[in-house]
Amino acid sequence: MQHPVLAANWKMNHGPTEAREFMRRYLTLSPRRNDRTVMFFPSDLAFSAAAEACRDRSDLLLGVQNIHWEDKGAFTGESSAAMARDAGARVVLVGHSERRHVFGETDAMQAKKCAAATRAGLTPVLCVGELLPQREAGQAEAVVLEQLTLGLAELSTASVASMLIAYEPVWAIGTGKTATPADASAMHAVIRTHLRGLLGEKALAVPILYGGSVSKGTAASLLAAEHVDGLLVGGASLDAEGWSSIVAT
Ligand code: PEP
């Protein structure tokens, strides 16, 4: 059993001042641990402040919430994977449901972003998940498998073997509705089987995170579910005390 991965997605919260203050609190509450991997995804503008505040804690991984797939050019408002890597990011969220459903990003874009990330030495966390009507229509597995197939299309098997997947049912994100551990486990098993088809036994080493309204109260039971290798947490990662207790789960 690999170490659980606990990832905090701050979304568009915490500017540089709040990021510094959060880290100051978090570092006093959560000592270094060798039995879990902790990641933070601040906004691009707060990235340097967060990275600077935890520069003595090499156990904490910093990532960005989004990248463009081109290396440079006339893409106002965007940042490239190489820029994120240069700023100190090690990981990047790709295909978060808010990028897909609020900003209209397609699976083809996710494939290009995953490829750009790996070219630049960033580890992608590919997020997949179905909408509520798709779940109600019995299409959840098909949707997730299509997102996986298309999102991984431009990666070598070696790159897939060293990335992470996050299953985040869209109906559970920011809604207070969490998938049950059994629901999460069932979809994670589907994802694992797909990865096994690509990677064989190496698929067991690809962390599959669950995300969607995880709280202090639900973290332990979700983490205990089979095939759930970690958690991607939005709202409940925003205060240092709450996030520390989830990390300590
Ligand atoms: C997320 O942003 O990935 C997420 C799961 O958000 P929340 O925990 O707020 O549902």
Could you tell which of 5, 10, 11, 165 is best to mutate to test the pocket of ligand 1, judged by most ligand atoms within 8 Å of the CB? 11
The dihedral through the CA atoms of 85, 88, 91, 95 has a sign that is negative
Tell me if 246 CB under 6 Å of ligand 1: no
The answer to whether 194 is a known catalytic residue is no
Q: Is 97 exposed, middle or buried (0-12, 13-18, 19+ CB in 10 A)?
A: buried
Q: Would the pLDDT of 80 be above 70?
A: yes
Q: Which atom of ligand 1 is nearest to the CA of 173?
A: 10
Rg for the chain, CA atoms, rounded: 17
- pLDDT for 177 equals 84
List the beta bridge partners of residue 60: 38
Q: Would the pLDDT of 186 be above 60?
A: yes
What's the whole-number mean pLDDT along residues 229-244?
A: 98
Q: Would the pLDDT of 1 be above 80?
A: no
Q: Would the pLDDT of 23 be above 90?
A: yes
What's the whole-number mean pLDDT along residues 74-88?
A: 98
Catalytic member of 130, 154, 168, 227:
168
Centre of ligand 1 to C-alpha 200, Å, is 30
* Structural domain boundaries, residue 61: 5-247
Q: Which atom of ligand 1 is nearest to the CA of 235?
A: 9
Token readout for 60 is 């904490």
What are φ and ψ of residue 211, in 5° steps? -140, 145
Centre of ligand 1 to C-alpha 51, Å, is 21
Tell me if 124 CB under 6 Å of ligand 1: no
Q: Which amino acid is at 162?
A: S
Which residue is it, tokens 């070219």? 119
* DSSP category for residue 4: P
Tell me if 151 CB under 6 Å of ligand 1: no
Tell me if 213 CB under 6 Å of ligand 1: yes
Domain count, the chain: 1
What's the whole-number mean pLDDT along residues 188-192?
A: 98
Residue 210's closest CA among 191, 227, 187, 230? 230
Tell me if 170 CB under 6 Å of ligand 1: no
Tell me if 9 CB under 6 Å of ligand 1: yes
- pLDDT for 68 equals 98
CATH code, domain with 77: 3.20.20.70
Q: Which atom of ligand 1 is nearest to the CA of 236?
A: 8
Residue 167's closest CA among 247, 66, 64, 97? 97
- pLDDT for 174 equals 85
Q: Which residues contact 52 (CB under 8 A, 6 or more apart)?
A: 20
- pLDDT for 140 equals 98
> Nearest 5 degrees, angle CA 36-CA 153-CA 75?
85
Centre of ligand 1 to C-alpha 210, Å, is 10
Contact present, 112 and 57 (Cβ < 8 Å): no
Pairing relationship of beta strands 37-41 and 60-64 according to DSSP bridges: parallel
